[in-house]
């Protein structure tokens, strides 16, 4: 399936070691968004904005030199893999990111695909696909 890259924001819009929430879905669907994560060395990752253990909002997580720390239970999550360290070892969904000339792009087709079975059932019930919004 070919990628369809959509400009989401500029790299400078996310401070080094910071995060940004990107909404997904329609307002009434209340789907988790995407957490864009910028490391201190300017790598950018996109994760489903939901902690694999508790459902906490990862875009509110503290990011240090390495892993992020979930705001609800302080477990660490590697932004490159979306996985927690021991003892939990759960993972959240990762999304493709393209960084070009200081701009961050996400693949719309990948983002609009349901992130879970519950989302797939919801989309099938209402006959709609999630919608990704860009904020530039």
| The token pair that represents 54 in the structure block | 């508790």
Q: Can you give the pLDDT of all 136 residues of the chain as single tens digits?
A: 467 999 999 999 999 989 999 988 655 566 788 999 999 889 999 999 988 877 778 888 877 667 888 777 777 888 898 888 766 678 889 999 999 999 999 998 888 777 767 666 666 555 454 455 555 5
Please give the domain boundaries of the chain with CATH numbers for all domains.
Answer: 5-126 (2.102.10.10)
Strand partners, 13: none
Residue keyed to tokens 């996400």: 106
Rounded to 5°, the CA angle 46-51-52 comes to 105
């Amino acid at each position: 399936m070919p990628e369809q890259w959509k400009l989401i924001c500029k790299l400078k819009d996310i401070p080094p070691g910071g995060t940004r929430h990107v909404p997904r879905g329609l307002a009434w669907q209340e789907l988790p968004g995407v957490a864009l994560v910028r490391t201190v060395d300017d790598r950018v990752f996109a994760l489903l904005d939901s902690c694999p253990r508790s459902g906490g909002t990862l875009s509110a997580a503290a990011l240090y030199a390495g892993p992020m720390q979930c705001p609800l239970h302080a477990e660490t999550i590697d932004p490159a893999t979306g996985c927690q360290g021991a003892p939990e070892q759960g993972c959240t969904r990762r999304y493709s990111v393209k960084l070009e000339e200081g701009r961050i792009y996400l693949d719309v087709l990948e983002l609009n695909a349901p992130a879970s079975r519950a989302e797939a059932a919801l989309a099938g019930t209402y006959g709609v696909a999630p919608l990704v919004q860009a904020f530039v």
